[in-house]
């Protein structure tokens, strides 16, 4: 008989805890949704610039080849040191 009472109290406590969590999360979702709607209503629209920024020039091809060569040498040395 005592085990049944403990089980009943445990289930009641579990239901109460899950109920509180459900209510809290529901209130949280509603609050965040309302805040989002409020911000969308009163926030200024983003201004798009009419003139594009300065275009970045591509690095010279020689520099790209040099970087690739350095990366290749570093990779080769790493693989030589970490062979299993």
Q: pLDDT tens-digit profile of 10-33?
A: 999 999 999 999 999 999 999 999
The sign one gets for the Cα dihedral 33, 39, 40, 41 is positive
Alpha-carbon distance of 81 to 63, in angstroms, equals: 27
**What pLDDT, on the 0 to 100 scale, is given for residue 54?**
67
Domain assignments of the chain as residue spans, ordered by start: 1-43
DSSP 28-83: HHHHHHHHHHHHHHHSPPPPPPSSPPPPPPPPPHHHHHHHHHHHHHHHHHHHHHT-
Which of 17-26, 44-53, 59-68 comes out lowest in average pLDDT?
Answer: 44-53
**What pLDDT, on the 0 to 100 scale, is given for residue 52?**
64
Q: What number is the average pLDDT over the span 36-61?
A: 75
Q: What number is the average pLDDT over the span 55-67?
A: 73
């Amino acid at each position: 008989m005592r085990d049944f009472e403990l089980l009943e109290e445990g289930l009641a406590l579990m239901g109460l805890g899950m109920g509180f969590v459900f209510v809290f999360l529901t209130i949280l979702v509603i609050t965040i949704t309302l805040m989002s709607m409020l911000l969308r209503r009163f926030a200024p629209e983003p201004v798009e610039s009419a003139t594009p920024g300065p275009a970045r020039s591509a690095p010279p091809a020689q520099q790209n080849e040099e970087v690739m060569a350095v990366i290749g040498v570093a990779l080769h040395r790493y693989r030589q040191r970490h062979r299993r």
